[in-house]
């Protein structure tokens, strides 16, 4: 992974770890229980975070709102949403503290253009975060997105279906969210520099 630009590393609220001679930046999730389970105490920047979810609407977006809110207010960069399954609900995003003037929603007409748009957004230096919803993502395509995120210190956030859990991924962080008898469950499948973990209930996610 390439070193992050100094302007990003100097931002307040970012945690800096060393991986060999290299610094890695993270941003707090907004949930202390989750931060304690993640390397560096937050979401990795300049990298991909992949969330595998069985169905949309179980709180998967709420998981990322505090960090997205911080990014929307901290940097002179945008948040890009690519092919979301539903139109982002502006009043809820504003209530969560997101600066709506910094949001771009992109809906490519051709499916082949979805990944192209994501790579361009990550690589451009214009976006602090790119959120992508996709059914299919090859290892080669994921690696291109990972390199694009590294090049600009952007946060790549990818939402994928359950079948993706069986596939290899170069993402720095892979999560799986589901709903069971005890409520929502969040599994950390892969965390670069950390260990797999399971968080049950997620009662803190409702607040």
11-67 confidence digits (pLDDT tens)? 434 434 444 434 568 999 999 999 999 999 999 999 999 999 988 888 899 999 999
Q: Is 23 helix (H, G, I), strand (E, B) or coil?
A: strand
Contact 46, 1 (CB under 8 A): yes
pLDDT of residue 15: 39
- The residue ranges of the chain whose pLDDT is under 50 are 1-22
The secondary element (H helix, E strand) that includes residue 43 is strand 43-44
The pair of structure tokens assigned to 21 is 């001679």
Q: All domains of the chain, ordered by start, with CATH? A: 6-206 (3.40.50.300)
The pair of structure tokens assigned to 79 is 């948040």
Contact 98, 91 (CB under 8 A): no
pLDDT of residue 68: 95
- pTM for the predicted model, two decimal places: 0.84
pLDDT of residue 5: 45
Describe the strand order of the beta sheet including 22-27 as a list of residue ranges.
14-19, 22-27, 43-44
pLDDT of residue 207: 52
């Amino acid at each position: 992974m390439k070193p992050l630009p100094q302007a990003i590393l100097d931002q307040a609220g970012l945690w800096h770890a060393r991986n060999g001679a290299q610094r890695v930046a993270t941003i707090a999730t907004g949930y202390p229980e989750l931060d304690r389970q993640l390397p560096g105490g937050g979401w990795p920047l300049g990298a991909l975070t992949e969330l595998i979810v069985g169905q949309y609407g179980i709180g998967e977006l709420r998981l990322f709102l505090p960090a997205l809110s911080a990014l929307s207010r901290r940097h002179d960069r945008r948040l890009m949403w690519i092919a979301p399954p539903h139109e982002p609900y502006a009043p809820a995003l504003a209530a969560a503290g997101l600066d709506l003037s910094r949001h771009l929603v992109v809906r490519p007409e051709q499916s082949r253009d979805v990944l192209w748009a994501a790579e361009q957004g990550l690589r451009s230096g214009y976006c602090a975060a790119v959120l992508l919803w996709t059914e299919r993502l090859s290892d080669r395509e994921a690696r291109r997105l990972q390199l694009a995120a590294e090049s600009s210190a952007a946060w790549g956030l990818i939402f994928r279906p359950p079948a993706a859990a069986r596939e290899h991924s170069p993402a720095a962080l892979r999560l799986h969210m589901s709903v069971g008898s005890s409520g929502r469950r969040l599994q950390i499948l892969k965390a670069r520099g950390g260990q797999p973990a399971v968080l049950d209930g997620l009662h803190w996610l409702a607040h």
